[in-house]
Structure 1
Amino acid sequence: MGLQKHSKVLNETVEKLSDESSYKQLFHAYRDEEALPSGEVLKDIIDLCRAILFPGYYGNARISKQTLRFHTGVNVETLHTLLCQQIYAGLCLADTSCTSCPEEKIQAHAEELTEAFISTLPEMRSLLATDAEAAYNGDPAAQNISEVIFCYPGFRAICNYRIAHQLYKLRVPFIPRMITEMAHSETGIDIHPGAEIGHYFSIDHGTGTVIGETSIIGNRVRIFQGVSLAGEKLPPDENGNAIRGVARHPILEDDVTVYSNATLLGRIRIGKGATVCGNVWITGDIPPGDVITQNKVTK
């Protein structure tokens, strides 16, 4: 009797879970041969990018100047194969309006996007070199740039962001956000791939730092742990839905410093060379060169 009652509960639960009204927005219909983007493979892709961008720090530790070209060639070829597969999966997942597009067309688009991304790696390396230099110059505790590249969570998060941002600019679906969320899980630093960040950028310590989607950060900007570049909450549209695609996060001009646990809210502008001290809540523009403290905010 107990077993029959148990089976009845299971059957009723299965029926409820199989009711289309309960899963209509939570169900993804697969194409033939389609797979979802894989977090495990994307981790391998990030490792490959790091090995290409920072040879000797990641990947084959025995790499030398004589073997650099060989190892780079192998890594780039492997990166092309893995990334193309993941972009293909992302394109299929994003194509909600059509389930019968030719696989050849999607594959060709995935290959085009993959090659476009790989072509940005030399520029990305140059940009990340400025970020590593900024972290080293800004932190007296850093023994050398090697320590920044190999150990610093802020630099790891920025590296993931730089990779994700290039894919975001190419309009690759899903994968950029997955890559920045990997860094978020690993470091506690949440940078949306859509944010625009200039060169010589550093995040000191970093735990709890949040940089929203439409944030714009200039050159030589330094921020600390717990800083939030937050989006203003906008009223819903006429249908009651959230308004999307609107610039709603702060702009930080060149040479700005924001200290720990400061919150900058909405589409405000922090002028060139300004300093925002810790534990303040800012909702208005700050003039260039100004220093904002708790006393100044509360007056």
Structure 2
Amino acid sequence: MDGLPPRDAPEDLDLGQVAEQLRLLRLVSQQRRYAGRPVPRLPVRAEITDLLADLIAALYPRHYGPSGLPPDRTDGYVVALLPALRERLARQVELELLLAVDAEPADCHDRARQTADRVMGALPRIRDLHDTDIAAAYAGDPSAKSLDEIVFCYPGVAAALRHRIAHELYGAGATMIARIMAEHSHSVTGIDIHPGARIGPACFIDHGTGVVIGETAVIGRNVRLYQQVTLGAKRFEEAGDGSLVKGQPRHPVIGDDVVIYAGATILGRITIGRGAVIGGGVWLTQSVAPGTVVTQARPKLDSLPAPD
């Protein structure tokens, strides 16, 4: 009957025993991860996603700042927000750096401050770069009525902005925080961009659902991608012990002015030349020359005899 426990549930559940079993499992896991060191504190995922939202608010305060923020108070809001953001970001970066086996607390503190300053100092450049993404979306979508509509409503534009922030952190060495931001963006937009991917100006991801862009992918200027596009790896290189080699270039390089239509899959460290057009549903594992149009074979249509 509804509401009754399963028949195999213990009649007298000892929650203390459950807690002890979980403690032992945590202990084994922590010994494996931290090699007997004191268990460090972890970065706080909720705080990192809040930081991402506040960084976006600093970049676009009229769209993502406090509700009802008057235009004449926008500058003051940003001026007040930035110092607190720097401190919060430095703290989360420090927690990540302290996870390293050879972490020195004083050094981690200094490096975290430097990383936070680098990211905060990059905000004007990120805003300027992302404005080109917004302009590309407006130019590339005849249904767009205004730039404000694009900022509010387009998941591909939202994903690009979050990627540009995460990419700055990734390049500064805060790779876990960058991944947390990227995966939060993935869950919000349905677009999976590794923070290591390098994306040039005026990138427009139209519709966007199901797009996957791998860690070492390089995307040039004025590139347009449609939904379900994959820029992935063809294979993973293995070391002598069978473990995967990390960080090797294994994703495509997309030239300037390329258009890749829905459902295309492009794998491996290949180059798609400038101005190429990759049709929907195409599967590519070889480089494509500039200006080439690649499409699937036309489907064959056979006429069936009319039923008797």
Length-normalised TM-score, structure 1: 0.88
SS in 2 for 1:264: strand
- Quote the residue 2:4 is aligned against: none
Runs (5+) with no aligned partner, structure 1? none
Alignment partner of 1:230 out of 232, 242, 252: 232
Once the two structures are TM-superposed, the CA of residue 230 in structure 1 deviates from its matched residue by 0.5
SS in 1 for 2:61: coil
Matches within 5 A, 1:157-196: 157-196=159-198
2:86 maps to 1:80? yes
Deviations 1:45-103 (A, max 9, x none): 1111111111210112444554333111111112112111111111112x1244xx2x3
Q: Which amino acid aligns with 1:112?
A: Q
Q: Distance in 2 between matches of 1:51 and 1:77?
A: 14
Matched positions, count: 292
- Once the two structures are aligned, what percentage of the paired residues are identical? 36
Deviations 1:2-45 (A, max 9, x none): 9899659947982994497676545687758x531112111211
Q: Which amino acid aligns with 2:21?
A: V
Q: Which amino acid aligns with 1:168?
A: Y
Q: Distance in 2 between matches of 1:77 and 1:12?
A: 41
Once the two structures are TM-superposed, the CA of residue 111 in structure 1 deviates from its matched residue by 1.1
Length-normalised TM-score, structure 2: 0.86
2:234 and 2:285 in contact (8 A); partners too: no
CA RMSD, Structure 1 to Structure 2 (Å): 2.9
Q: 1:42 to 1:125 in 2, by over 3 A?
A: same
Deviations 1:247-266 (A, max 9, x none): 01000000000001100010
Q: Which amino acid aligns with 2:55?
A: C
SS in 2 for 1:56: helix
Q: Distance in 1 between matches of 2:11 and 2:19?
A: 12
Report the more deviating stretch, 227-236 or 54-63: 54-63
Q: Which amino acid aligns with 1:189?
A: I
Q: 1:30 to 1:118 in 2, by over 3 A?
A: farther
Once the two structures are TM-superposed, the CA of residue 175 in structure 1 deviates from its matched residue by 0.4
1:91 and 1:173 in contact (8 A); partners too: no
1:226 and 1:261 in contact (8 A); partners too: yes
- Quote the residue 2:128 is aligned against: 126
- Quote the residue 2:210 is aligned against: 208
SS in 2 for 1:229: strand
Q: Distance in 1 between matches of 2:93 and 2:279?
A: 41
SS in 1 for 2:245: coil
Q: 1:4 to 1:285 in 2, by over 3 A?
A: closer
2:247 maps to 1:245? yes
Q: Distance in 1 between matches of 2:35 and 2:139?
A: 48
Q: Which amino acid aligns with 2:66?
A: N
Q: Distance in 2 between matches of 1:113 and 1:43?
A: 18
- Quote the residue 1:96 is aligned against: 101
Alignment partner of 1:266 out of 265, 268, 289: 268
Deviations 1:189-226 (A, max 9, x none): 00011111100001001111000000000000000110
Q: Distance in 1 between matches of 2:109 and 2:76?
A: 27
Q: Distance in 1 between matches of 2:256 and 2:179?
A: 26
Runs (5+) with no aligned partner, structure 2? 1-8, 299-308
Aligned structure 1 segments of 4 or more residues deviating by more than 2 angstroms? 2-32, 60-69
Q: Distance in 1 between matches of 2:56 and 2:80?
A: 14
Deviations 1:91-145 (A, max 9, x none): 112x1244xx2x3332222111101110000011000000001111111111111
Q: 1:14 to 1:279 in 2, by over 3 A?
A: same
